[in-house]
Structure 1
Amino acid sequence: MRLGFVGTGVITEAIVTGLLKVGAQFEHIALSNRSAKKAAQLAAKDKRISVCESNQAVLDQSDVVCLAIIPQIAHEVIAELKFQPSHRVISFVAGMNMDELRRAMPEVDNIVRAIPLPATADALGATTLYPQDKIASELFSQIGVAVEVENEHQFDCISAATATMASFYAVLESQAQWLVQQGLAYDKARAFLAGYSQGLAHGTNSGAPFTELIDHCMTPGGINEQVHHELTKRGNYEQYQEALTRVLDRIEGRA
């Protein structure tokens, strides 16, 4: 595989790092020089990785082209590029739907949308794909879990769910601050909560429904049940879903 990245930001760095980490087989990776320092650092890690002088040079050296650019400049950058029908394009551009992508690249036969996340650097996490595509699935399955959805609405819903990253860490910070208030040093609170969270995440590998995991953690009359029931009674989980619905409305242009 000859893989190219137009845009060399956090996600490109994570994907390339993950591919190297797992020893993925590829012929060549071409990087744009938009973030020259980061691109050079990645290229220094493997002789099969090179930094190109232009975005067009990335395309010319690649079979699979990943668009890792921010939405504000996406149309401008794509308009300057000359794609070939043989190119397979994987777009990470948030909010740019399939109709827009096809209009922007009418000569390209195969276009896939993807939501890769920073955890791919450690071959962890999940990358959502639409439409289903064997090459993209094989690529991202090497550095985590590839989740292929059935339609663009489902893709948008998962995109909305990724808006919970900051709130996930905010919940941990809230717990850390509570522990500090009880007299625990912050570094010890953080160390405990980091390990605790990793342990809970490991439990998801069983494949069991989350409802089953919830029940498994609760002893009747126990402290887990107490907190869960109190948060449920106050509507905390419902508020979470309401916030996600508002994000989805924004993504799909209803807000």
Structure 2
Amino acid sequence: MNELSIGFVGGGNMAQAIIRGLLAAGHRPDRLYVSDPSAESRQALAEMHGNIRLQNDNAELAGLCDVLVLAVKPQVLPDVARQLATTERAASQLVISIAAGVTMASLRGWFSDSKRIVRVMPNTPALIGAGMAGLYADHDLDSIARGWADYVMEATGESLWVSDEALIDAVTAVSGSGPAYFFLVMEAMQEVAMEMGFDEQQARLLTTRTAAGAGLLASASDESAAVLRERVTSPGGTTAAALEQLEQGGIRDIFRKALNAAQKRAVELGKHELGDS
């Protein structure tokens, strides 16, 4: 697939992460096209690889590409879409939107000639190649286009297809916003570690390496998080004492409320983007 011509409308952090991953996977740089109004973004892309094709015209870019990645802010996407949707390649082109909250209904309306549209919810660990992306498309999307979408998004980590667009809002709540939940836990642990006598650098090292190690262990194991937790929890021990406090504080209910609130807000943002009340 390294011969695919892939165009990015918007060259910000997420687009750069995908491009970096594609280059690392051996994709031909001269088959990657980017348009972005920011001189800073264009400079970063030029420094990434001199053969990446930087375009000034969105419609011209769209006319060159098999895959079009929409990596602009949701509020400017309607105007950008009007520039992109009338090219001769629109009917066969795969359109991938990573714009938060922009629904398939809107994308279908803007790209009425396109039969290949995928909505994606990535997350920020994609910036280091450790991302988790949720993908949704209409049931009749062909297998070739699905493969292209996987190829693009798995350049930054892993991807998961969902069968119902409503589940993209759940993906937003779990993995899209998820890194912030872990950062908050790490922030709290670092604060307490410093209260215990560690300096800031030591507290950060202890916390970040523990978080990274736990994540890697959970990813490498076929066992559930519950089993892994039980394995490091001796009856009457230090871990048990800590977990008792967390359970008494209602940590499970707090996370349930937090994720439900994120999902609800994602739904609200989608309705607002559609102009619904």
Same fold per TM (> 0.5)? yes
Contact 1:14 1:118 (C-alpha < 8 Å) held by counterparts: no
Q: Per the alignment, in what secondary structure is the counterpart of residue 177 of structure 2?
A: helix
- Deviation digits for residues 216-254 of structure 1, max 9, x if unmatched? 222222222222222122212211211211221122238
The structure-2 alpha-carbon separation of the partners of 1:96 and 1:79, relative to structure 1 and needing over 3 Å to count, comes to: same
Give me the whole-angstrom Cα distance separating, in 1, the residues matched to 2:203 and 2:61.
Answer: 46
With normalisation by structure 1, the TM-score equals 0.91
Contact 1:18 1:121 (C-alpha < 8 Å) held by counterparts: no
**Alignment-derived partner of residue 167 in structure 1:** 181
Give me the whole-angstrom Cα distance separating, in 2, the residues matched to 1:8 and 1:200.
Answer: 33
User: Is the deviation greater in 183-192 or in 46-55?
Assistant: 46-55
In percent, how many aligned pairs have the same letter?
A: 26
Give me the whole-angstrom Cα distance separating, in 2, the residues matched to 1:218 and 1:150.
Answer: 37
1:157 equivalent among 155, 158, 170? 170
**Alignment-derived partner of residue 217 in structure 1:** 232
State the AA in 2 paired with 1:18: G
Contact 2:29 2:49 (C-alpha < 8 Å) held by counterparts: no
Contact 2:172 2:262 (C-alpha < 8 Å) held by counterparts: no
**Alignment-derived partner of residue 246 in structure 1:** 261
The structure-2 alpha-carbon separation of the partners of 1:122 and 1:20, relative to structure 1 and needing over 3 Å to count, comes to: farther
Q: Per the alignment, in what secondary structure is the counterpart of residue 159 of structure 2?
A: strand
Q: Per the alignment, in what secondary structure is the counterpart of residue 198 of structure 2?
A: coil
Structure 2 gap segments, 5+ residues each:
272-276
Cα RMSD after superposing both structures: 2.0
**Alignment-derived partner of residue 17 in structure 1:** 20
State the AA in 2 paired with 1:43: A
**Alignment-derived partner of residue 274 in structure 2:** none
Give me the whole-angstrom Cα distance separating, in 1, the residues matched to 2:109 and 2:57.
Answer: 23
C-alpha displacement of 1:121: 3.6
State the AA in 2 paired with 1:69: V
Contact 2:70 2:96 (C-alpha < 8 Å) held by counterparts: yes
State the AA in 2 paired with 1:182: M
The structure-2 alpha-carbon separation of the partners of 1:199 and 1:187, relative to structure 1 and needing over 3 Å to count, comes to: same
**Alignment-derived partner of residue 215 in structure 2:** 201
Give me the whole-angstrom Cα distance separating, in 2, the residues matched to 1:201 and 1:25.
Answer: 33
State the AA in 1 paired with 2:257: E
C-alpha displacement of 1:30: 0.6
**Alignment-derived partner of residue 3 in structure 1:** 6
Q: How many corresponding residue pairs?
A: 255
Give me the whole-angstrom Cα distance separating, in 2, the residues matched to 1:68 and 1:171.
Answer: 30
**Alignment-derived partner of residue 116 in structure 1:** 122
Give me the whole-angstrom Cα distance separating, in 2, the residues matched to 1:43 and 1:62.
Answer: 19
Contact 1:16 1:121 (C-alpha < 8 Å) held by counterparts: no
Give me the whole-angstrom Cα distance separating, in 2, the residues matched to 1:151 and 1:189.
Answer: 42
1:42 aligns with 2:45: yes
1:96 aligns with 2:99: no
Give me the whole-angstrom Cα distance separating, in 1, the residues matched to 2:113 and 2:35.
Answer: 21
Contact 2:173 2:259 (C-alpha < 8 Å) held by counterparts: yes
**Alignment-derived partner of residue 191 in structure 1:** 205
**Alignment-derived partner of residue 125 in structure 1:** 131
Q: Per the alignment, in what secondary structure is the counterpart of residue 239 of structure 1?
A: helix
C-alpha displacement of 1:147: 0.9
Structure 1 gap segments, 5+ residues each:
none
C-alpha displacement of 1:45: 2.6
State the AA in 2 paired with 1:107: D
**Alignment-derived partner of residue 160 in structure 2:** 147
1:85 equivalent among 81, 84, 91? 91
1:180 equivalent among 164, 179, 194? 194
Q: Per the alignment, in what secondary structure is the counterpart of residue 80 of structure 1?
A: helix
- Deviation digits for residues 166-196 of structure 1, max 9, x if unmatched? 2321221111111111221101111221211
C-alpha displacement of 1:27: 5.5
